[in-house]
Amino acid sequence: DRKFIAASAQLGPIACDEPRSSVVGRMLALLDEAKARGVSFVVFPELALTTFFPRWFFGNDADLDVFYERAMPNADVAPLFEAAKAAGIGFHLGYAELAEEEGRAVRYNTAILVDREGKIALKYRKIHLPGHREHEPERPFQHLEKRYFTRGNLGFPVADVDGGRYGTLICNDRRWPEAFRMLGLQGAELVAVGYNTPQHYPPAPEHDHLQDFHNHLSLQAGAYQNGTYVIGSAKAGFEEGCELIGGSCIVAPTGEIVALAATRGDELVTAPINLDRCREIKANIFNFALHREPDTYGLLTAP
Ligand code: CDT
């Protein structure tokens, strides 16, 4: 339907040795609260089932493999799929994916949208992979997404889910207007964005105090410039020695934050959604058919 209550289900820190069953238990508690509040769509963060493992260098695949899912759903997350279906709640989930392509293992930073009937309606693999590829021991912590993930190969898909047009971006993608525009051009009305964003950015620590601002700046601009709701969901708090920003929020198509997390722990943030409000923007200031000038934008797609 077009009018419902949505939630961002922020997660606090996940320890390196916290089992999937414990994390899923925390998600089930948030889902219970969502049900009590009449929510029908919940956004969980990027890499929601484990600690943010790209902060460490692993010298061998066996140590790395434990953080990846080989199937989705699998036994660990089945309780989440079942509980959400029983409650008639759709959800977004980010996880590390170990896929097999032509007999080769390929690693992706992946997110799925699951509809209210428990069916996976959309799958996206992160395209803008930040950080670095080689071990940089001088850093206080690593950000090895370029080493541990292959660039997504599914484009920027949207799907018609439960009466609306939904898309997903993953963390660093939100900073790139082109990524949001790819979804906007396909008529997205709700974009789910999970993130793990350290407060400290070793290459430019002078920007540390701006991390929350840049997060909201990107989410709010993406919403407004494409006339879409955006639901941002953080993995937040002091995780294995690294502080991650919170600020999970729901942004209206006008770019206004209509609900905002108050903590850096497990927290459910809810707001009423009316997807027909997207037209306030899509039919006016950003009426693409009327006002876009794509023949002048060639530079945007030049390599
Ligand atoms: N997970 C993720 O993409 N995090 C990045 C951190 C900054 S780049 C090292 C982000 O864009 O928030």
Is residue 278 among the annotated active site residues?
no
Q: Please tell me the distance between residue 119's alpha carbon and the centre of ligand 1 in angstroms.
A: 29
Q: Please tell me the distance between residue 197's alpha carbon and the centre of ligand 1 in angstroms.
A: 5
Q: 195: Cβ below 6 Å to ligand 1? A: yes
pLDDT of residue 154: 98
* Closest atom, ligand 1, to C-alpha of 171: 3
* Closest atom, ligand 1, to C-alpha of 215: 12
pLDDT per residue as tens digits for the range 49-75: 999 999 999 999 999 999 999 999 999
Looking at this predicted complex, what is its ipTM? 0.98
pLDDT of residue 151: 98
Cα dihedral 213/47/13/10 (nearest 10): 60
DSSP state for residue 173 in the 8-state scheme: G
CA angle (265 as vertex; 216, 221 as ends), nearest 5: 10
CA-CA distances (angstroms) from residue 262 to 46, 214, 247, 259, 266? 19, 18, 7, 10, 10
pLDDT of residue 94: 99
Is residue 46 among the annotated active site residues?
yes
pLDDT per residue as tens digits for the range 251-282: 999 999 999 999 999 999 999 999 999 999 99
